[in-house]
Amino acid sequence: MKLYIIGNGFDIYHGLDTQYSSFGLYLKKNYRAVYELLLEHYGFTDLDPKNASSISDPLWSDFESNMAGLNIDSVLEANTDFMPDYASDTFRDRDRYSFQIEMEKTLNYLTTDLYKAFNEFILAVDFPIISKDKIINLDKNATYLTFNYTDTLAKYYKVPNDNVLFIHEKSENNKQNLILGHGITPDNFKESPAVPPLGLSEEELEDWNNYQAEQYDYSFELGKQTIKEYFSRTFKNTEIIIGKNKDFFSSLTDISEIYILGHSMAEVDLPYFEELVKSVKADAKWTATFYSPDEKTHHFKVLTGLGISNISIVTMQEI
């Protein structure tokens, strides 16, 4: 039995404009505040359709992984004007929360608005008419695991929906909650509490504690904890997703042929592949498509790293 694993390269091969750089251009046009935050606090390149190097920028092409690149210190510093001036004659208790309110606005831009924009972007993707020589020889009765959000398999290959698992959900309406995110456990972003140096005398320890107390600012800490929620809200928890789809993975015991079509096999999605290796036949044949020589090398390295020996790396046209 066959299993097809579908990635974004599959949609791009069929002429769909689903590149993350295209999503960036969508943000630039329709969600300017979100776009500017990505440039300022992540280091994303300002996209220019006339500048090929900006469109191929690796930060954009590996957008999901780079969602973990939010520079918290940069965000905090950019909003220090909203910190309360306790010595001011006009200070009011409500001013303690002004900084936190700004952090909540930034958090919502980078989560709620970004995810809303991404779903809108996918819904707006056109399905072009493709020539017969673009059609791949797929078995529509096989099992499909797609990481995409589009209906490409049904539109071009008449693959029944019952044969397809949309592991990150399918974009069907404006209220869809699509799964998009980085793969770094949020605990990795937690700060360790300050610890006094060893060997301090009682007096030195008291001075150290007094210094720490002087550095503490209630308003600043509220704001910092608020923006740090970003990392948990954008975390793609593959363990939970796999658990929710355990019936699918347990149904793959008879799979002897696996075809990976247009998937980058980025680190953020490796837990899925690890689960697949455990689920299919041990001697299954794995075939992956590549777009560039570097990608061919990467795919072979990833698959061998997963303990797979029966590997074939081919172009999409060779499937």
Domains of the chain and CATH, by start:
1-17+132-184+237-319 (3.40.50), 19-124+185-234 (no CATH)
Cα gap 153→169, rounded to integer Å: 14
Helix (H) or strand (E) holding 4: strand 2-6
Give the integer Cα–Cα distance in Å for 319 and 312.
11
Task: Read off the pTM.
Answer: 0.91
Q: What is the pLDDT of residue 201?
A: 86
CA pair distance 181, 31, nearest whole angstrom? 18
Whether the CA torsion 178, 181, 185, 186 is positive or negative: it is negative
* Cα angle for residues 122, 127, 130 (degrees, 5° grid): 145
Size of the chain, expressed as the number of residues it contains: 319
**pLDDT on residue 87:** 67
Contacts of 255 (CB under 8 A, 6+ apart): 1, 2, 3, 143, 279, 280, 281, 284
What pLDDT does 26 receive? 98
Mean pLDDT in order along the chain per 10 residues (319 residues): 98 97 98 98 95 88 95 96 80 85 97 98 97 93 98 97 97 90 92 83 82 80 95 97 98 98 95 98 97 95 97 94
Do 3 and 163 meet the contact criterion of CB atoms below 8 Å apart? Answer: no
Q: Identify the pLDDT of residue 96.
A: 82
CA atoms of 214 and 125, how far apart (whole Å):
54
Name the residue with tokens 């990467």.
298
**Contact partners, residue 60, CB within 8 Å, separation at least 6:** 19, 20, 21, 24, 44, 45, 47
